[in-house]
Structure 1
């Protein structure tokens, strides 16, 4: 049986990675490219753990064998279906122990060559956490702008055109506000965020700079590493301005139109508004927000929130950053994308003169 280290795995182009842990383990954190084909269900894993605790290892192994034996043909077929010609197959569990060893043995008996990941997911996580701090490019170009100017759309367009970007909101599955998980589920935990950040850093490896949004240290459930925060605070600051009417339109398109007919939508908006109401003292603003909530006038609600809640807080946050801000005035996010690209191209074209002077 061949074992490979995490470092060897990371050098393989497009490996087929099979994660045989239970669904609850996989959902808590996984290698982003891995396919979950669990050896045990969550319930079976719990039963085996209880037996191990009260009756010992031998009894737990026997019960595990009883669970697995009927599944072997189906398990092998699922793995076989995930494969394509020429791809290298890697199997892992939590610590590279009995589960992955058993599955690799089953595969060998079936004539399918596979490798076992030494140390399993635990070794993978330890490896990426060790590597991430040294992987950031030297220069950060930071996109600022009031809520609704379309910073995320600018970032995505830059990435589609080959610019080196880190979309931290996408990695966190959270938009970084009270309403940040609307339509995105519960948000990613730290383990998933770290794995996606590692992959994102690998994609931009070798670039002298990267583009990111001016995110807070915590984005939903996830926290940025200090090395990223340091580069952000000393980065080149681009401040995007768009008219408030366009910002409201942008937010309606992003937060309202795709979801407003969903049965959960109004309740989730209500929970967000309740949190905001506890933070503000202006009675007239409270009354206006409650009226828009009751009437489901989300368009008007967004306008009130921008003018009286989000905008004052955002301008205060910009004072934390070092250096001057380069203002970019645009009609909408598409116009902003073109102008941001022009500024980046100009800055990078005069890298020695301009970048070092501003950072």
Structure 2
């Protein structure tokens, strides 16, 4: 008799992974590539839970079973009608219990070799946490540092184009890392989903080759970096981009041009600096925002906020920052950024 359960280590042997949890659970985090096929939606889970608490376990199961059967039937009809006889899916729910078990039973009744993930999502989550403690310390990280406006993210992209291994934490976190760093077209993922995406990226690296990553603080927007990731980054060798102030300001105005489209939003982000800057300075910056005077605003932000913060944080947080290789440039346009990336690789 074929085995009907599988472990996290077996994930790669299945044709599809099916997430039987509710839509809200799926949005919070999921196994990469999983298909969302809830056996109970969020409203149905709430109904069944209320019946369980207020009436009885039997009533909850009786009503819930009908809902589960209807939902599984719909998924079979709408998503899996074209699957061949040898299709092999893996199904998981929160802890490998009734939701995924019911789904597997129906799939196996059809004739497919469906399996249930032992321990469900909770085991997947344990695996991610354990790997995020282990993998960062095995990698040969190279920290790309430089004050705000040094085009570090663009340099990482140029390094990737050269075939180098790159870890773009700000892309994974959907945030540029600064007080003005929220993106206009992307919401930040949940903490759990960020960690899953980070694990997936780290697991794909060749530990024998360097991995370039931008210097970051412990938080990127509302996302917290795992402790092992922080420790590995802060102990790694650094390369410092030293661009001229003019080149940095030109880059910032281009890179943050979208902030000029929503004055109220920009001013609200400036308000986040209360306590770090005087009320007079905050009001002056908000006035510059209202005037769409981004060059003048960024010049003051660089001189009064970002550069002093950078000098304190890099020397304090990164052990090898004082010994960093310095790459000077007065051009942070596409060609200048490409040249910086080539020099980083040549000096490695």
Partner of 1:144: 145
Q: CA deviation at 1:95?
A: 0.7
Q: 1:190: Cα distance to partner?
A: 2.2
Q: Distance in 1 between matches of 2:199 and 2:282?
A: 42
Map of 1:187 onto structure 2: 188
Q: Which residue pairs with 2:131 in the alignment?
A: 131
Specify the alignment match of 1:353 in structure 2.
none
2:28–2:193 CA contact under 8 A, matched in 1: yes
CA distance in 1, matches of 2:87, 2:250: 46
Deviation at 1:138, TM superposition (A): 4.0
Q: Which runs of 5 or more structure 2 residues have no equivalent in the other structure?
A: none
For 1:177 and 1:337, locate their aligned partners in 2 and report how far apart those are by CA, in whole Å.
24
**Quick one: structure 1 residues 93 and 326, their matched pair in 2 at CA, closer, same or farther if it must change by over 3 Å?**
same
Deviates more, 1:41-50 or 1:272-281: 272-281
Match of 1:4 in 2: 6
1:242-261 pair list within 5 angstroms: 242-257=243-258, 261=261
Query: For each residue in 1:93-133, what CA deviation from the matched residue of structure 2 results, as whole angstroms up to 9, or x when unmatched?
Result: 11111111111222223344322211111100101211222
Taking the aligned partners of 1:101 and 1:152, their CA distance within structure 2 comes to 45
Asked whether the 8 Å contact 2:139–2:207 carries over to 1, the reply is: no
Q: Residue 313 of structure 1: CA displacement? A: 1.0
Q: Which residue of 2 aligns with 1:280?
A: 277
Cα distance 1:346–1:120, how it changes in 2: closer, same or farther (>3 A)? Answer: same
Aligned equivalents of 1:268, 1:290: Cα separation in 2: 10
Structure 1 unaligned blocks of 5 or more: 348-359
Instruction: Within 5 Å, give how 1:1-359 maps onto structure 2.
Output: 2-9=4-11, 11-12=12-13, 15-80=15-80, 88-136=88-136, 137-257=138-258, 261=261, 265-281=262-278, 283=280, 285-320=281-316, 321-323=318-320, 324-330=323-329, 331-332=331-332, 334=334, 335-347=336-348
Moved more, 69-78 or 29-38: 69-78
Cα separation, partners in 2 of 1:68 and 1:138, compared to 1, 3 Å: closer
Given that 2:140 and 2:208 are in contact with CA atoms closer than 8 Å, whether structure 1 keeps it comes out as no
CA shift digits 1:235-293 (9 cap, x unpaired): 11111122334333433333333x755xxx4332221111124421273x334312212
Cα distance in 2, alignment partners of residues 199 and 190 from structure 1: 14
Taking structure 1 as reference, are residues 87 and 69 closer, same or farther at Cα in structure 2, changes over 3 Å only? closer
Of 95-104 and 302-311, the range deviating more from structure 2: 302-311
Which SS does the other structure have where 1:147 is aligned? coil
- Change in Cα spacing, 1:260 to 1:37, as seen in structure 2 (3 Å) is farther
Conservation of the 8 A alpha-carbon contact between 2:88 and 2:112: no
SS in 1 for 2:298: helix
TM-score, structure 2 normalization: 0.88
For residues 298 and 168 of structure 2, the distance between their equivalents in structure 1, rounded to whole angstroms, comes to 24
Aligned length: 340
Distance 1:134 1:148, change over 3 A: same
| 2:165 aligned counterpart, secondary structure | coil
Secondary structure of 1:143's counterpart equals: strand
